[in-house]
Amino acid sequence: MKTVITYGTFDLFHVGHLNLLRRAKELGDYLIVAVSSDEFNLGKNKVCKIKDTDRMKIVEAIKYVDKVIPETSWEQKIEDVKKYNVDVFVMGDDWKGKFDFLKDYCEVVYLPRTEGISTTQLKEELKG
């Protein structure tokens, strides 16, 4: 069995998120998604519109997702890769190169973002 993991905030869940999860699942048999906790996001100066427990429930309901875990720190990625015997680590290509240190533990794949949609864009549109 090939295990894939990805990380994200998944605030204001949209089709770009869905595309990322679908394409991540296509890279293996079992997809683990780590959803950033509210506390971890505050440390990144990000405030979510949807609380972490609800974001985790939303992600968990997606048919491509097999397991959801909380993301609570930057450092947990190596621990997660080891703990869950991950074969492939996936992130959007806006993070390209940032997680290459994981290549010592698993394959690292950066997937292209879905054009024309982002949480930042949605938040801006909702202001107006």
Q: List, by residue number, the catalytic residues.
A: 44, 46
How far is C-alpha 22 from the chain's CA centre? 12
Terminal C-alpha separation, the chain: 47
Q: Which of 9, 3, 120 is nearest to 58 (CA)?
A: 9
* Distance set, CA 49 to CA 81, 112, 113, 122 (Å): 29, 25, 21, 11
Number of other CB atoms surrounding residue 101 within 10 Å: 11
